[in-house]
Amino acid sequence: MDDTLTVHAHLTGAVVRGAGRGHGLGFPTANVAADPGSRVPPSAIYSGWVVRHSTGVVHQGTISIGSNPTFCDTTDVHVEVYCHDTSDEFYGERVGLWFVARIRDTVKFASPDDLIRAAQQDVLRSEAVLASDRGRRVLTGALDAYGKTVSN
Ligand SMILES: Cc1cc2nc3c(=O)[nH]c(=O)nc-3n(C[C@H](O)[C@H](O)[C@H](O)COP(=O)(O)O)c2cc1C
């Protein structure tokens, strides 16, 4: 785990449609089109909080930033978040991603099954990070920024 990530690093953007592969992998993701001027962290897997701007609802997330090299389908960098605690789809909504920690490098896996196994571990690590003091601090900062108080 890498704690060098700037505390309270975050980006905002709109949720757009991805390749539609995530459901089949068991990790459906919201693809986020980062706002122009947003500083997108380097390609990697991260833990972070997802704030839905329309409602202020916050979800736990594991964030993938990269070109999905396992599938070789693009050279574009995608910002995707798998929310642990909801199966809502929020296409068109605006969200804020608040990064807590970097979990690992993005990997070109030999098979989708290898990716699924790694993602399962990522989510477990991400849950622990979000529940840690550091995770709570970032959540407090995110909620302060949105003018709300911590309620969970
Ligand atoms: C927790 C997690 C970890 C991921 N790790 C990798 C990775 O190491 N390598 C990779 O190629 N893609 C990785 N991905 C991205 C998936 O390839 C991507 O979510 C999937 O292809 C679905 O893309 P779509 O939303 O455009 O359909 C990861 C996604 C998640 C949610």
Strand ranges inside the chain, DSSP E: 10-16, 30-34, 44-52, 58-66, 78-83, 94-104
CATH tag, 10-145:
2.40.30.30
Whole-number Å distance, alpha carbon 147 to ligand 1 midpoint, is 32
Which pLDDT value is given to residue 58? 95
Structural domain spans, the chain: 10-145
Q: Give, for all 152 residues of the chain, the pLDDT tens digit.
A: 444 455 458 999 999 988 888 889 999 999 999 999 888 999 999 999 999 999 999 999 999 999 999 997 678 899 999 999 998 888 999 999 999 999 999 999 999 999 999 999 999 999 999 999 999 999 999 998 887 654 44
Which pLDDT value is given to residue 9? 84
Which pLDDT value is given to residue 5? 55
Residue 121: both structure tokens together:
């571990």
Q: Smallest Cα–Cα separation from 102: which of 25, 35, 48?
A: 48
Query: Are 22 and 119 within 8 A, CB to CB?
Result: no
Q: Smallest Cα–Cα separation from 80: which of 94, 63, 100?
A: 63
Q: Could you identify the atom of ligand 1 that is nearest to the CA of residue 81?
A: 31
Q: Residues lining ligand 1, CB < 6 A?
A: 18-22, 25, 27, 29, 31, 45, 62, 64, 68-71, 80, 82, 106-107, 109, 115, 119, 122
**Residue nearest ligand 1's atom 20 by CA:** 22
